[in-house]
């Protein structure tokens, strides 16, 4: 039906790209972006946000390791003004790239994002929680998101417990577990494994056994 349209607009392309991504068809979504450009359409912020989503979703295609930086450079070159959706996608892509030095790029965009949401907070917490040098920052952002009125979800708790594991901080771990118990995510298998790891690294073997 899409191919039969007499005139394929940017909105129609974006709709189809999003549809492919939702089905996990990353290669098809990227190919459609190429067609969009060949048809003379200029990608907008929403298009770029989906390209960034494709770069972090794995799926059925292997993309260059620095896709986030390449797409970001193209956004700047195209004079597309990042809105909060695009900014969130950039932060998430930089964090998930796992490349040394790119966390600072994510941090800079995060600080400039006016309307932050749970997704962008989670992205920064995840990024900070991967290294001992930045694990404390993960906890700072965890506190900040709650100050903004956002409730931690499963992804938040998974990253925060990871940060606690790196820091081996039992008091902080206890506070996180107390919140986790109230949240309803405590019984999730993913959280069980994370808590066991956290308490083990804090030297609390009995607590780890109780979770098990």
∠ at Cα 118 (88, 131), nearest 5°? 75
Residue 14 burial (CB count, 10 A): 20
- End-to-end alpha carbon distance in the chain: 53
| Residue in the block written with tokens 């969130």 | 88
- Sign of the alpha-carbon dihedral angle for 101, 104, 110, 112: negative
Dmax (CA) of the chain: 68
pLDDT of the residue at 196:
78
pLDDT of the residue at 212:
53
**Residue ranges of domains in the chain:** 1-115, 117-212
pLDDT of the residue at 25:
87
State the pTM of this model. 0.79
Mean pLDDT by 10 residues, the chain (212 residues): 65 90 88 90 92 78 74 90 88 79 86 89 92 91 94 91 83 81 74 76 69 56
pLDDT of the residue at 99:
66
- SS3 state at 148: coil
């Amino acid at each position: 039906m899409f191919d039969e349209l007499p005139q394929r607009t940017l909105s129609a392309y974006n709709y189809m790209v999003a549809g492919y991504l939702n089905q996990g068809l990353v290669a098809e979504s990227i190919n459609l972006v190429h067609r969009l450009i060949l048809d003379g359409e200029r990608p907008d912020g929403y298009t770029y946000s989906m390209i960034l989503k494709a770069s972090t979703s794995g799926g059925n295609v292997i993309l260059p390791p620095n896709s986030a930086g390449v797409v970001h450079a193209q956004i700047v070159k195209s004079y597309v003004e990042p809105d909060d959706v695009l900014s969130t996608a950039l932060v998430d892509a930089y964090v998930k790239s796992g490349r040394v030095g790119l966390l600072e790029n994510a941090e800079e965009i995060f600080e400039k994002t006016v309307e932050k949401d749970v997704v962008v907070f989670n992205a920064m917490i995840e990024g900070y929680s991967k290294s001992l040098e930045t694990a404390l920052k993960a906890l700072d952002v965890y506190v900040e998101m709650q100050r903004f009125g956002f409730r931690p979800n499963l992804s938040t708790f998974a990253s925060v417990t990871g940060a606690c594991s790196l820091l081996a901080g039992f008091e902080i771990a206890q506070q996180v577990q107390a919140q986790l118990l109230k949240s309803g995510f405590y019984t999730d298998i993913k959280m069980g494994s994370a808590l066991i790891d956290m308490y083990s690294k804090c030297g609390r073997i009995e607590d780890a056994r109780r979770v098990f």
